[in-house]
């Protein structure tokens, strides 16, 4: 299966600052990647679809100006949480899919905003 | 994407077989059924996928009745390391890989 790597695994930032999370598809060229958010004791929630070479598609209720997604190459998508606040603290996970609903996930990034 | 319903939690003991059933009454003709496993602070991991009847791999078996309105993930002889959240999802081959997760089933394996 595809190998997906996220960086960093965890990050602590001050309120009001921005944080960038990288998602790399190590052995598969992904024209599409996905970003999820997971709060404690809850399920994964799809935030947006990252499209290589074009704008990301955001799910309803997700602020596109707050969660900036860039998919500049077939192996890298980045999620930037801008002006982070404590309520943005969460577990962020990216995925790559080869269709057929079999997806490969990164190890996740734990964001804590203080 | 079809909605799924699973038990919120299950308990088991080491060495037992665990069966987790998922209901997906509105599954479409082209939909596949896929199960994922998630450990705390990790991304989900693909376990098994099927369309109908029975599928088996080195980790689990997936039983799907003829009407495909439900499916059962079977984990043989569980160990403590199988303690995790298990998600059942349905979707079709043509989808973009966009996954909508339900609440999942938290399996607690006890010694």
Q: What percent of chain A lies above the pLDDT cut of 90?
A: 78
Cβ B31 vs Cβ B94: under 8 Å:
no
Residue B76 has pLDDT above 60, yes or no: yes
Residue to mutate among B33, B43, B96, with most A CBs inside 10 A, is B43
Which positions 65-104 of A are in contact with B (Cβ < 8 Å)?
Answer: 91, 93-104
Residue A67's DSSP bridge partners are A81
**Which chain B residue has the Cα nearest residue A58?**
B98
pLDDT for residue B96: 62
Contact criterion met (CB < 8 Å) for A43 and B103: yes
Model confidence band, residue B10 (pLDDT cutoffs 50, 70, 90): very high
Contacts of A8 in chain B (CB under 8 A): none
Contact criterion met (CB < 8 Å) for B95 and A99: yes
Cβ A31 vs Cβ A51: under 8 Å:
yes
Contacts of B48 in chain A (CB under 8 A): none
Indicate the residue of A32, A42, A44 with minimum beta-carbon distance to B96: A32
How far apart are the CA of B110 and the nearest CA of chain A, in angstroms?
A: 20
Inform me whether the C-beta atom of residue B96 falls under 8 Å from chain A C-beta atoms.
yes
Distance CA B17, CA B104 (A): 19
Residue B97 has pLDDT above 80, yes or no: no
The residue with greater pLDDT, B41 or B94, is B41
Average pLDDT over residues A99-107: 78
Model confidence band, residue A100 (pLDDT cutoffs 50, 70, 90): low
Model confidence band, residue A99 (pLDDT cutoffs 50, 70, 90): low
Cβ B92 vs Cβ B31: under 8 Å:
yes
Cβ A27 vs Cβ A5: under 8 Å:
no
Q: Which residues of B37-57 are buried (b: 16+ CB within 10 A; e: fewer)?
A: bbeeebbbbbbbbbeeeebee
Query: Any idea which residue has 């404690």 for tokens?
Result: A40
pLDDT for residue A30: 86
Return mean pLDDT, chain A. Answer: 92
pLDDT for residue A27: 86
Average pLDDT over residues B68-90: 96
A14-28, B39-53, B90-104: range with lowest mean pLDDT: B90-104
Model confidence band, residue A81 (pLDDT cutoffs 50, 70, 90): very high
Inform me whether the C-beta atom of residue B40 falls under 8 Å from chain A C-beta atoms.
no
Average pLDDT over residues B74-89: 96
**Phi/psi zone of residue B109: left (φ > 0), alpha (ψ -120 to 50 degrees), beta?**
beta
Average pLDDT over residues A88-101: 84
**Which chain A residue has the Cα nearest residue B31?**
A100
Indicate the residue of A43, A98, A99 with minimum beta-carbon distance to B101: A43
Average pLDDT over residues B42-59: 94
**Which chain A residue has the Cα nearest residue B47?**
A102
């Amino acid at each position: 299966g595809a190998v997906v790597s996220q960086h960093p695994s965890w990050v602590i930032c001050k309120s009001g600052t921005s944080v960038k999370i990288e998602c790399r598809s190590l052995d598969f060229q992904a024209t599409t990647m996905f970003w999820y958010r997971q709060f404690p004791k809850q399920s994964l929630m799809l935030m947006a679809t990252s499209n290589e070479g074009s704008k990301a598609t955001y799910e309803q209720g997700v602020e596109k100006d707050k969660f900036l997604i860039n998919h500049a190459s077939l192996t890298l998508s980045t999620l930037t949480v801008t002006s982070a606040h404590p309520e943005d603290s969460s577990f962020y996970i990216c995925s790559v899919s080869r269709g057929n609903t079999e997806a490969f996930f990164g190890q996740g990034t734990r964001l804590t905003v203080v | 994407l079809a909605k799924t319903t699973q038990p919120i939690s299950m308990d088991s003991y080491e060495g037992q077989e665990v069966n987790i059933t998922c209901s997906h009454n509105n599954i479409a003709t082209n939909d596949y059924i896929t199960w994922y496993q998630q450990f705390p602070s990790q991304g989900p991991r693909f376990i098994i996928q099927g369309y109908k009847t029975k599928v088996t791999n080195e980790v689990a078996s997936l039983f799907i009745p003829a009407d495909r309105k439900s499916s059962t993930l079977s984990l043989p002889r569980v160990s403590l390391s199988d303690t995790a959240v298990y998600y059942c999802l349905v979707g079709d081959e043509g989808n973009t890989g966009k996954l909508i997760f339900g609440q999942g089933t938290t399996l607690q394996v006890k010694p």
